Amino acid sequence: MNQPLLEPLVFEALQANAGADFVLQLLEAFAEEAPLLAQQLREAAAGGDSTQFETIAHSLKSNGVTFGAARLAELAGRLECHGLAAGGAAISAALDELTAEIAAALLALQAAARL
């Protein structure tokens, strides 16, 4: 069974605790920052900067957890945990998968925020 893009209970709890307006502001910030973070992750990988790579992956993982985007958190967490050890082709494939998941999660989050 495929994992849902969002865990509705997590997102609903975030809205209940932080307020829908504030969550919308968080989403707007995430929508701006996430693609930049994905690009910085690629640059860190290309430059062999494992510390920067792991820090950015951790940030994306944390955002995924916060918003209930479990698959995003899982993918970013794997990158954080394994760092650059997997090597070029595997890292590139993982980054492609993460970038696609960021885009999908953003669409799902934006739709959920409007409900």
Model pLDDT for residues 28-71, shown as the tens digit of each residue: 999 999 999 999 999 999 999 999 999 999 999 999 999 999 99
pTM reported for the whole predicted model: 0.91
Percent of the chain with pLDDT over 70: 97
Cα distances (Å, whole numbers) of residue 112 to 59, 60, 106: 22, 19, 10
Given a contact cutoff of 8 angstroms between Cβ atoms, the answer to whether 49 and 71 are in contact is no
Report the range of poorest mean pLDDT among 2-11, 45-54, 95-104.
2-11
In 1-115, DSSP assigns E strands to: none
Please count the other Cβ atoms lying within 10 Å of the Cβ belonging to residue 6.
Answer: 22
Higher pLDDT, 58 or 5: 58
Identify the CA nearest to 102 among candidates 77, 66, 83, 76: 76
Average pLDDT for the chain:
93
Instruction: State the residue for tokens 């605790």.
Output: 17
CA dist 108 and 11 (Å) reads 11
